[in-house]
Amino acid sequence: MTQWTVLYRKEMTEMVRNYKILWVPIVFILLGVMQPVSSYYMPEILDTFGGLPEGTILEMPTPTGEDVLMQVLSNYGMLGVLILVLSAMGVVSAERQSGVAGMVMIKPVPYSSYILSKWAGLLTITLITLFIGYAASWYYTSLLIETVDFERIFQSVLIYSIWLVFVVTLTLFFSTIMKGNGGVAFVTIFVVFGLSAVTSILGENMKWSPAAMTEHTGQVLLSGEPGSGFLLGFITTIAIIIVVLIASIQIFKQKELLE
């Protein structure tokens, strides 16, 4: 346990040292804040830059606060996931290449501690980032558009965080089994977006899919209740996360550490 704490602390110092702890949350805050601001000023923006003929009357329905926050979450689903995966892609593979992993594993450190400390580090930054970014977005939405029930916000962000945890766990897994950083990012993003696409096309048949979590998030925001099949999706997602973690540890054991 103490070894794990040391490794975890190493993870966190590293994130401070390469500024990850600063830039990832800032990007999420900006992503989250720009959506309410731009939907609030959309009529003015169109007026000034739209080049519409004089006297055009635009009936723009003002979006509700829930709509804006759903937009924010769908931005997080695209750009946010991209940034998280890119920032986490080297988590194991880069350390293996530079020999740091070898240096750590020469000492009697259990393989599971090494992988789990990496995972905990990723979890920490992901959750901090999501909560801060979403809170900023909620603040701006209630300032400019309308207040959204805190309970809905809280529930939706909890459900959404499960999806992001799934995404970073997958990144960790591919980072363990593959060598190049770019390849890790590419495969992870391919799998994640592929899963999202298949889930939204097949809908009913994919209730177990982790990507269904993003749909439940929207449901919670709009109606206060997750859609049907939430429990099934929740359980499979947690199960997949655990299986992927165990697989990462097992594969990491077999790998040559010094290449």
Residues 6+ apart with CB under 8 A from 134: 28, 32, 72, 73, 76, 153, 157, 160
Contact 141, 49 (CB under 8 A): no
In the complex, what is the shortest distance from the CB of residue 86 to other proteins, in angstroms, rounded to a whole number?
5
Residue 79 DSSP class: I
Q: Looking at 46, 120, 132, 144, which residue binds other proteins (CB under 8 A)? A: 144
86 binds other proteins (CB under 8 A): yes
Residue type (1 letter), 104: V
**Could you give the CA distance from residue 244 to residue 115 in angstroms, rounded to a whole number?**
11
- Which of 97, 121, 138 is CA-nearest to residue 21? 121
Residues 6+ apart with CB under 8 A from 88: 122, 168, 171, 172, 175
Nearer to other proteins, 33 or 221 (CB): 33
* HSE value, Cβ hemisphere, 13 Å, CA-based, for 84: 35
In the complex, what is the shortest distance from the CB of residue 84 to other proteins, in angstroms, rounded to a whole number?
11
Q: Looking at 34, 46, 127, 198, which residue binds other proteins (CB under 8 A)? A: 34
Q: Looking at 12, 37, 120, 238, which residue binds other proteins (CB under 8 A)? A: 37
Nearer to other proteins, 19 or 150 (CB): 19
Residue type (1 letter), 252: F
CA end-to-end distance (rounded Å), the chain: 29
Q: Looking at 5, 13, 18, 250, which residue binds other proteins (CB under 8 A)? A: 18
Query: Binding mask 166-185 vs other proteins (x if CB under 8 A, - otherwise)?
Result: ---------------x----
Q: Looking at 87, 126, 155, 171, which residue binds other proteins (CB under 8 A)? A: 87
143 binds other proteins (CB under 8 A): yes
Nearer to other proteins, 34 or 198 (CB): 34
Binding site for other proteins (CB under 8 A): 18-20, 22-23, 26-27, 29-30, 33-34, 37, 44, 47-48, 83, 86-87, 90, 94, 97-98, 100, 140, 143-144, 181
